[in-house]
Structure 1
Amino acid sequence: MKTLNFLLVVIAVSSLLSCEKDDPGKYADYLVARPLTISLEEFKNGVDVIVPQPINESGKIYAYENYIFINDKYKGVHVIDNSDPGSPTKVAFIKIAGNVDISVKNDFLYADSLTDLIVIDISDINNMQIVNRLHDVLRDNVIWPMEADIFEYEDWGNPDNVLIGWEVVTERRLVEEVQQRFDDVLMANAAENSVGQGGSLARFKIVADYLYAVDNHSINIFEISDLANPVDMEDVYAGFNIETIFNQENHLFLGSRSGMYIYDISSPAQPSFVSEFQHGTACDPVVVDGDFAYVTLRGGNGCGATESGLFVIDIADISNPALLKSYPMEEPYGLGVKDDKLFVCDGSFGLKVYDKSNVPDLTPLEHFDGITTFDVIPMQDHLLMIGDEVLYQYTYTATSLELISSMALD
C-alpha cells in the first residue's frame, strides 16, 4: 500500500509539473543552440574518404556531371552516383571537419574545413585523393545559426577544442528566465560597444580561374588556374553577415542579412563594389536571371523582425537595383530559376513553383506540400531538391513536375 501511495504522489507531482510547463503564459518553446567542438588533433586529421555513412543533418547540395554532393553539416560530404536519377546510389563519404560548402572544377573539389581550404582530386570517384590543404585562408567561417533564440556556451572555451558548428534543438523554457537572459545580453553588448552548380545557399562559387568564398565579412579569393595548387589572393571586405553568393556574367551577387550586394569581377582578382539593395534584417539567399534578381527573406528568430517573403528586384540598371514586387512566404530558404519557372523552397511548407514569364507578376503553378524543403538546383533535364534528410528528383513536363525518385539519406 505504501508503494502504491508513493506512486500516486509521483504521478500527481509529475502531472502538476506537466500542466505548469503547458502554461502558455509561463513557458514557451525556444530554439536553443549549443556549440559543437572537436579536439585540435581531430581537426588537423579530420579529412578522409571513407565508406558511405548515414546522414546526420543535410546541408547544401551540389551537382557535378553524374554526381551529387550533399553536405552533412560540419561533418563532410556525401557522394552520390546519379547516373540513373531514378535510382541514385551512395558512393562514399568525404569526412571533412567543420565543412559546409564545396565547389568543383575539372575533377578537383574545393571544400572548407573551418579556416582551411581542402583540395581533393575526384577524377577517380572510387579512389578520391586529398592533394592539398591551405591553412588559415578562410576567416569568420563558422556560421552562427541565426534562427536560434538562445545560445548556450557552457561547453565552449576549452583552448584544446575547436568550434566547428552548432546543434539547434527545441526546448521548453520559462519565459521570464529567457527574457532576463536577453536583457543581460543587450546590456553586455551596449557596455562593450561591439561593433559545378551549387544551390542558392552556396558560399563558394567558381568563375573561370577563380574561386570566390564568402565569409561573414569578406570575399575570399583564390586563383585556381593550377587546380591542385590554389593561390590565396587579397580578400575584399564586403560588409556584415554575408550569407550566400551567386554569379551572372561579370557580377557577383552577395546575399546578406541586411541586403543584396553587387560586385563587378571584370578584374577577377579584385572584385569592385557596384551597388546594393537594402532590406530589413532577415536570412537571405539570392538568384539572378537576366534583368531580375529573386531574393527570399526568412524573418523571425535570430534572422530578424522582417516578415518572410519573396522579393523581385529589377537589376537592368546594375548600379541602381529597385524593388518591383514582393510576395508573402512562410519560412523560405533556397530558390532557383529555369526558363520561365521559379522554384522556391518554403521550409516545412514545401516546394512552390511559379510562372515568371510576366515578371514581376508571378503566377502560382504548383505547391508540393507535406514535405520539408531546403534548397534546389534546376538542372538541364531535371530538378534536384534537398530537404529533411531526403534527396528529391523531379523531371520537367510541359505543365508540371513529376517525381523521379526520393532517396532517404539516413
Structure 2
Amino acid sequence: MKTTIRIIIALFLVGSFSSCEKISKTTSFTANVPMYMSYENLRSAVSNDNSKTLEKPGKIFLYNSLILINDFEKGIHIYDNGNPSAPSHIAFIQIPGNIDIAVRDNILYADSYTDLVAIDISNPTNAREVGRTSNALSYTIPSGMDWNYPVAEIDESKGVVVGYTIGEVEETCKNQDCRVYYDMNEEWNGSWGGQMMSDEGSPVSFSGNTNSVRSSSSSNNSAIAGSMARFMMIENYLYVITDQNTVEVFDIRTNNLQSVASFKPWEDASGWGVIETLFSFKNHLFIGSNSGMLAYNVINPSSPVYLSSYSHMTSCDPVVANDQYAFVTLRAGNNCNWGNTNQLDILDITDIMSPTELSSFEMSNPHGLGIDSENEILFVCDGFDGLKVYSFKDINQVSSSQLDHYSGIETYDVIINNGIAHVIGTDGLKQFGYNNQGKLSELSTISLN
C-alpha cells in the first residue's frame, strides 16, 4: 500500500513539473513596431539624389580634393573642396543604412545595413554600384526608437529594419521563456516587453551613442579620415569591424570583396571588451574598445599579428598614434560606461609590445581626435565643449599646454591634413586653418540643409 502511494505521489509530482513547463501566454503592450525594407529593395537602392541637402552629419572622409560626408543611415554627400574657403556640393549617393566610408582608386566602399557595397565614383553625379557582399555585417537595428517603449520582436526574414511606429502588439511566449519574461515583466511593470521576447530587439551601437560619428582611417595620403573608425584601408585590404567582437579583412583587388581573414582582438588578448574603432599608422593597427586599446602588426595586411594590449576602465575609446605616443579619449555615455569617466590618456608606445601610460587628464566629453606630428599638435573634439588644441612638445605637460579652444559647437571627429582641421559636428562641417603655434582661423562651414 505504501509503495502504491509513493508511486502515485511521484507521478503527481512529475505531472505537475511537466505541466509547469508547458506554458503558453500572450501579452499585449505598446511598443516600437519595426518597419522593414525588403532585401530585394535594399540591394537595388544605391542611386544618386543630387538635390538632397545634409540633414544629420555622420563621418567624414577626404579623397583628393573631395570631402565625403555621411548623412547618418541615408547615404553620402560629396563636396568639391578644391578651395577650402568655399566648398561646393556635387552629389548625394543614396545608400540605405550607411554609416562608414572608405575610398581607393575611385571606388567607394560603404556599409548598407547588413551588406558591404563597392561604388564607382569616378563620376560622382552618376555613381554606380560595381560590387556587393551580402550579409557581410551583423544584423543591426536603427537607433531612432522611442526609448519610452520596448522594441517589438524583430523578424529578420522580412528584411532590414529602417524605422519604427508606435503601436499595440501581442507576443506569445512558451514554456521556460515565460518564467523569465513574466517574472521580469511584473518586476519592471512591463517596461521589458518586446525586448525580453526577442534578443534581436536590442539596438546595436559600435561606437558610443547611436548617432555618433564613425570615421575611417587610411594610410594613403590622398584618402584620409579620422579616428572613430569601423572601416580602414591597408594597401589592397579593407579592414571592417563586422560586429562587436570581430574584425574581417576583405581583399579589394576585385570588386567581389572576398574575405581573407577574420580575428577577434580580445580573444587574442585573453581579455574582454567591445571593439569600436580602427586606426593605422605605418605597419601597426590600433583597435580601440570600451575596455582598452589593442595593437597588431599589419606588415602583411592579409594576416595581422597580435602584439599587445592596454586596459582601461569601461568607456568609449577612439585612438590615434605616431611613432612614440598613442592618444586615447575615454568618454561617458549610455552605451559607453557605467561611470562618469571623461578623460584623455597618453601612452608611451616606443615599445609596442608593452604600452605604458604616461599621463591622463580630465575633459568634458571627448570624442574623435587628430594629430599633427610634425608640429607636435593634438586636436581633440570635446563634444559639447567644442574643439581643443594642445601642444605635446613636452609630453608630460599636455594638460597645461592648451593652444586654442573653439567653443560654441558640438564636435564629433576631426581630420588633420595640410595645415587644415576638418571638424564634423551636429551642425555640419567646419574647416579651420592653423599655424605652427596651433592657433585656429575659420575658413568655411558646410551647414545643415
TM-score by length of 2: 0.73
In the alignment, residue 321 of structure 1 is paired with which amino acid?
A: P
Moved more, 378-387 or 115-124: 115-124
Report how far residue 198 of structure 1 moved.
Answer: 1.3
1:324-379 CA-to-partner distances (Å, cap 9, x unmatched) read: 11111111111000131101001111011101111132111111111111110001
Q: Distance in 2 between matches of 1:274 and 1:378?
A: 27
Residue 318 of structure 1 corresponds to which residue in structure 2? 352
1:108-154 CA-to-partner distances (Å, cap 9, x unmatched) read: 111111221111112223332221112122336x4886xx9877313
Residue 385 of structure 1 corresponds to which residue in structure 2? 423
Q: Distance in 1 between matches of 2:190 and 2:354?
A: 38
1:200-251 CA-to-partner distances (Å, cap 9, x unmatched) read: 112111111111111311111111233x343221311223421110001111
Matched, 1:79 2:117: no
SS at match of 2:365: coil
Residue 58 of structure 1 corresponds to which residue in structure 2? 57
Residue 192 of structure 1 corresponds to which residue in structure 2? none
SS at match of 1:45: coil
Q: Distance in 2 between matches of 1:218 and 1:166?
A: 28
Residue 374 of structure 1 corresponds to which residue in structure 2? 412
TM-score by length of 1: 0.80
Q: Distance in 2 between matches of 1:292 and 1:150?
A: 43
Q: Distance in 1 between matches of 2:291 and 2:163?
A: 23
In structure 2, the CA distance between the partners of 1:354 and 1:163, relative to structure 1 (3 Å rule), is: same
Residue 278 of structure 1 corresponds to which residue in structure 2? 311
Q: Distance in 1 between matches of 2:150 and 2:330?
A: 26
In structure 2, the CA distance between the partners of 1:353 and 1:214, relative to structure 1 (3 Å rule), is: same
Residue 154 of structure 1 corresponds to which residue in structure 2? 152
Moved more, 207-216 or 300-309: 300-309
Moved more, 49-58 or 108-117: 49-58
Residue 321 of structure 2 corresponds to which residue in structure 1? 288
Any conservation in 1 of the 2:419–2:435 contact (CA below 8 Å)?
no
In structure 2, the CA distance between the partners of 1:350 and 1:36, relative to structure 1 (3 Å rule), is: farther
In the alignment, residue 355 of structure 1 is paired with which amino acid?
A: S
SS at match of 2:393: strand
Q: Distance in 1 between matches of 2:246 and 2:46?
A: 25
In structure 2, the CA distance between the partners of 1:219 and 1:291, relative to structure 1 (3 Å rule), is: same
Any conservation in 1 of the 2:150–2:192 contact (CA below 8 Å)?
no
SS at match of 1:53: coil
Q: Select 2:251's aligned residue among 209, 212, 223.
A: 223
Matched, 1:210 2:244: no
Residue 432 of structure 2 corresponds to which residue in structure 1? 394
In the alignment, residue 217 of structure 1 is paired with which amino acid?
A: N
Residue 304 of structure 1 corresponds to which residue in structure 2? 337
1:32-61 CA-to-partner distances (Å, cap 9, x unmatched) read: 999775343432222112213122321111
In structure 2, the CA distance between the partners of 1:73 and 1:152, relative to structure 1 (3 Å rule), is: farther
Residue 18 of structure 1 corresponds to which residue in structure 2? none
SS at match of 1:361: helix
Report how far residue 164 of structure 1 moved.
Answer: 5.2
SS at match of 1:42: helix
Any conservation in 2 of the 1:149–1:302 contact (CA below 8 Å)?
no
Q: Aligned-pair RMSD on alpha carbons?
A: 3.1
Any conservation in 1 of the 2:411–2:426 contact (CA below 8 Å)?
yes
1:146-196 CA-to-partner distances (Å, cap 9, x unmatched) read: xx98773138447424135899xxxxxxxxx9x9479969xx79xxxxxx1
In the alignment, residue 346 of structure 1 is paired with which amino acid?
A: D
Matched, 1:259 2:292: yes
Q: Distance in 2 between matches of 1:354 and 1:230?
A: 40
* Percent identity of paired positions between Structure 1 and Structure 2: 36
SS at match of 1:51: coil
Any conservation in 2 of the 1:312–1:360 contact (CA below 8 Å)?
no
Any conservation in 2 of the 1:116–1:137 contact (CA below 8 Å)?
yes
Q: Distance in 2 between matches of 1:107 and 1:344?
A: 30
SS at match of 1:126: helix
Any conservation in 2 of the 1:149–1:301 contact (CA below 8 Å)?
no
Any conservation in 2 of the 1:395–1:403 contact (CA below 8 Å)?
yes
In structure 2, the CA distance between the partners of 1:150 and 1:334, relative to structure 1 (3 Å rule), is: farther
Any conservation in 2 of the 1:55–1:389 contact (CA below 8 Å)?
no
Any conservation in 2 of the 1:34–1:151 contact (CA below 8 Å)?
no
Moved more, 264-273 or 365-374: 264-273
Any conservation in 1 of the 2:132–2:257 contact (CA below 8 Å)?
no
In the alignment, residue 441 of structure 2 is paired with which amino acid?
A: E
Residue 405 of structure 1 corresponds to which residue in structure 2? 444
Report how far residue 74 of structure 1 moved.
Answer: 1.2
Q: Distance in 2 between matches of 1:183 and 1:74?
A: 27
Flag structure 1 segments of 5+ consecutive residues without an equivalent: 1-31, 168-176, 190-195
Q: Distance in 1 between matches of 2:163 and 2:412?
A: 18
Residue 115 of structure 1 corresponds to which residue in structure 2? 114
Residue 213 of structure 2 corresponds to which residue in structure 1? none
Report how far residue 264 of structure 1 moved.
Answer: 1.4
Moved more, 320-329 or 298-307: 298-307
In structure 2, the CA distance between the partners of 1:360 and 1:234, relative to structure 1 (3 Å rule), is: same
Residue 226 of structure 2 corresponds to which residue in structure 1? 199
Residue 395 of structure 2 corresponds to which residue in structure 1? 359
Which is strand-richer, 1 or 2? 1
Q: Distance in 2 between matches of 1:181 and 1:302?
A: 23
Any conservation in 2 of the 1:37–1:156 contact (CA below 8 Å)?
no
Q: Select 1:238's aligned residue among 250, 254, 265.
A: 265
Flag structure 2 segments of 5+ consecutive residues without an equivalent: 1-30, 166-184, 198-222, 267-272
Q: Distance in 2 between matches of 1:159 and 1:122?
A: 32
Q: Distance in 1 between matches of 2:300 and 2:189?
A: 47
